[in-house]
Each structure stands twice: as C-alpha cells, then as structure tokens.
Structure 1
Amino acid sequence: MATTERKPLLLDFEKPLAELATRIDQIRQLAEENGVDVSGQIRQLEARATQLREEIFSSLSPSQRLQVARHPRRPSTLDYIQAISDEWMELHGDRGGFDDPAMVGGVGRLDGRPVVMLGQQKGRDTKDNIARNFGMPYPGGYRKALRLMEHANKFGMPIITFIDTPGAWSGVEAEHQGQGEAIAYNLREMFSFDVPIICTVIGEGGSGGALGIGVGDRLLMFEHSVYTVATPEACAAILWKDAAKSPQAAVALKIVSHDLYSLGIVDQILSEPTGGAHSDPLKAATTLKTALVDNLDELSTLTSAQRRQLRYEKFRKIGVFTEVEH
C-alpha cells in the first residue's frame, strides 16, 4: 500500500472534523510563531476531534455508509492482497481471448498457506477507473475468476474473494458476450467446489456482479461496506422514478453490515479504524488477515462434503421468513 501523504478527500459529514483539524493547525502555528506553550489546549482539541470522529462514524446513516464504501481512497482488492499475502503472483486471462482489468486474481500464500485470491478492482483516479471500468467486470472477468477458482479447486487451495463493485457491466457488448450466463455459471460452479471459500465485502457489493464471486462458506463484511441487490440510486429510479430518493431506498434495502448480519446473510462483521478503512489501510488489512486465517483454520477441519452442504444450507436460508397471522 502506498504511504505517500496526500490531501484527504472529505465527505460531507466529515467537514466538522476538517474544520477542527484546521483550527488545531492554526493554533499550533501561531503558538510556534509567538513562542507560546499551548500544548494543553492542543491536547484538549485533539481529544475532542477523536471523540467527534467516533460520534460521527458510529451513527452513520445507510446513505452515508455508502459514501464511505465508495470513497476513492478506500483500500482495494490489490491493496489488501499485497498487504496480507506472504507471496503473490497475479494471473491473467480467461483463456477465451479476454483479460478484464476490472477483475484481478492470482495465487499466493496467506500465513504460509497456498491460496487463490481474486476480486473486483476499482481505479484510484479517473484515468485508472476508466481502465478498470469502475470495477464493473465484463463476462470475461467472471470467466477469468472461474478459471482461477477451478485451478484452486484442482490443486486443493482455498479460495479468497474480495467483493467491491457497483455491479457487473450492463452494456450492450457485455450482453452480447453473455453476461448473465457467465455469472450464473459461476454461481453453480462455486456451490460444487471442494475447497474452502471465504468471500469478503471490502467496499461496495452491488447486484449479481457481486454475487458472481460471492458464493462461499463464509461471507465477511467490513463495517462500513454495503451489500445490496441494486444500488439505492437504481432502486429509487425504479420505484419512485426519482434517483434523489436514494437515501430512502438505502434504508429500505437493508444494505449495511449490521442489518445484513441480523438477517443471517453476513457471517462476520470486520471492524474498521475510526474514520473508515481509508483512514488506516494497514490496520484494516491486519483485521482482515486475522479474520481470514481464523476462518480458514475452522473451515479446514471440515470435510469437502460438509463444506458443500453447509454452503448449500447457508444460501437456502436467505430470504426465508415466517408469516404471523393477526
């Protein structure tokens, strides 16, 4: 992960924090220029800034969490892979003539264990996002992912996937190439694999594009990530013909981690540094690695048949509800 200091990109609800930080810097600079000791006041203001940050990020609305999940400096798939793996070699191509840069993956070692890791990859800036198609894979991306997962299954390596996409690319060319078939084929095959599969929502998990690499024994999710059948903007446009109602849709869709955990869709919520994963990427990566290793250790004690059965049962339970007569 890059450690070069850059000017932070502020979200709307972070402006009070920025104003307080600016005030602290101004006081510190004036004190230095005039030789005045204001260390006590600085400590009080810094304590207030820490408290304010905790208050803000502990009470984010679903639409605000969506902003955090989409933050351009939020750690990406490649960031996490490079941070948590002992060794890593990216593999390219779907063996059908395509190498989709919106889907990356390869072989590596996680805590000494050979694994295959893959996931959607967004860009850091406009140019990179265009090259990565904003993390929205074409059918070739899902076929590349399947090739890597078949390789893992053949050689007995656990599969680790990282979900971070607003959805699969829905352009005409993608439809011509068989987008729906590619995703559906992945879903079917992932249910059949013998090796452990752990999926983690690291940012934005949207629609079938997320589910195309999201069938696993365990689904982990970072605290401020989102996971949804459709983006709130799309949902609002469909239901109310008004994308401006996306905050209302975000609440109704139950897109945030604690809602999904209570519904039994997510198995584990990974805490983020105060301020979001982008505020301390290395700390977030450490949390992720610990969770992955712990879950792999547990899943490795089960037989292949047990894992497949649990995987099947996990997804059969999604959407089950009980009607209560009044």
Structure 2
Amino acid sequence: MTTIKLDNVTKIYDRNIIALNSINLDIKGGELCVVLGPSGAGKSTLLRIIAGLEHPTEGKVYFDNTDVTTTAPQERDIAMIFQHFALYPHMTVYQNLAFSLKVRKCPKPYIDTKVREVASYLGIAHLLRRRPRSLSGGEAQRVAIGKAIIRNPRVFLLDEPLANIDLPRKEEIKRLILKLHREKRYTMVYVTHNQDEGMSVAERLVIIKDGEIQQIGTPMDVYNAPANLFVAKFVGKPRINLFRGQIRGNVFETHRLRWVLPQEYPSCEAIIGIRPENVEVAPSGDWRVEDVEYEGRDVLLHLTNGQHTLRVRSTATRSYRVGDRLGVINRISKYAIFSPDTGRLITVYPKVQ
C-alpha cells in the first residue's frame, strides 16, 4: 500500500495564474482520499501532478518516501480513471482489458486468465466481445476500471469518475469503487466537485478552493466542525443557516432573531451556523412558510420572518403549506461559531470527538 506525500507543492501557469499554492498533503497507504472543491479549485491539477502528467513549479511529490517529482507517469505505476471512459473504440472489451498486458509482452494464457478473472469480478464477462460504442455509461466505466486494475497498480487516481454516468448507474459504480477499495486496499485519490458524492465515499476529505487547502478531515469532522465559512457553506445539503449578530453570555442575538445557547461565551460579534436538521419548529408563530420540499420521511421548510430566512429539516409528521405560520424554538444545542472578520471557525457545540 503506497503512501503519497505532497510537500509544499505550488503550480503557477503562464501570466502568473496560481493553480495550486503551497499544498501539503499526506495520503496514507490504502486510504481513499477525496479531493473536493468547486470548478476551478485546482483539483484536477493536483491529480495530474500526482500522476506525473504535470510538474509542480515548486515543491516535491513522494511515493513511499521516494521522490517522484520528475518521474515519468509510466514509471510511477499508477492507474487513472476519468469521467471520459478512455477506451479504445476500435477494440472489443476483451482487447481493451488485455491491452496493457499485451504491451508488457505477458504470455497469452496469462492474459486470457487475467482478463476473464477481472471481467468476472466486475460483472462484465458477458460484454467481452462488444465494442465501446455499444456500451452504456455504467458498462463503459466498469471496463475502464477493469483496464486499471488488471495490472495491479500502486495508486488509483479517479477524476470525476461518475460525472458522465446516468443517475441509476451512478450508485452502482460508486458501490463498485468502494468494494474495490475495501477488498483490494488500493491507495486511491478521488477528485469530485459533488459534495454528496465526496462525503459518501471518502475516508478522508481534502477541501480545496482557489488552489489552497481549506480543511482536511473525515466527512463527519468536516460537516460538524467546518474550518471556515466556505467549508460550512460548501459541504452539506440543504445549506447551513448563517446569521451575524452579537453573543452576550449564553444568548446570540440579531435583529428579530434570538438563540439561547447551552453555554456562555465572552461578549463578541460573531456568525453562528446552524444546520437545518438542528432547528425545531413550533405549531404557531411569526415565521411564514415560503416553500415546502417533501423528501420522503423528511420535509425541508423554507421560512422567513421578514428579516431573515431559515431552512429547517424535520420529520414529516404533519403536512405543511406555503403561507403557514410557524414558530421556531429558540434554544439550540448544536451549532458552530465563526469570526466575522476572518470567516474562520471559533468553536463548535458540542465538541467534535
């Protein structure tokens, strides 16, 4: 199981465009590490530098403590899986799977055994005679994964692997990737802009924005204790509720809004963040229902009191309609407090273990 280390990696393109700025990242052997961020954050650049397809302007890349910064991609023993399936269109599925072993001049019986073994493992044995144009997106991505695992690489790099797959197949391929990681324990670096996808597959998340790492942690840590306002807003659906006001003792207050907190704090100006599932409503009050979204067992309410908007996720124990008047229970027991000056996290309650 190969470890990966990025030591102070910076990438600057022409005209001083900084794609990555002083990236320091240690990925454990056998870890599934998800790099998550919006478009243009530097995710794919980071992946390409790990792959050796690009070289950093500054900094070093290490595999198992060996400097591979200038090592050619083919000498790093990696496999890349892209959103575009990277299959040879003129070859059958069998030939696509066999190609890398054929290039290595492996014996034909060995190639045949490995192809059928991998095809069986991935559930594509019935597709071996078909060509890529006749495959669905999910089938094509299974073949692409097969091309990668057939040569047993040290490192798997996945760049938006679910992006071009129709919705019913996304879950299927995601479960396949998780199974592959669980059973083979490959070191995997998985890039995505989709926070639902990233949260559901990651052992550890690396949140990146404008070429800089914002936070590294488990999905639970990142969700419950976001390092700054960007992470708080980017991770979590529906979005976190954020209010700017004053904390005095155990009360947070702003115009037409008051929250009672379970502990006291020094008086200060602050931004409080409350996830929609941590807000409770009462049967009547001065909050108007602006929108209702039923989500099976749960319901998402969009409320306003004329000054503030509030998102509330609750169990759908009753029906709600636009225009209903509800109250909001002002005692909260789970929240994050941020600095209004820097946007950085000050504290969370309760503390993340």
TM-score (norm 2): 0.29
Larger Rg: 2
Larger relative strand fraction: 2
Larger relative helix fraction: 1
TM-score (norm 1): 0.31
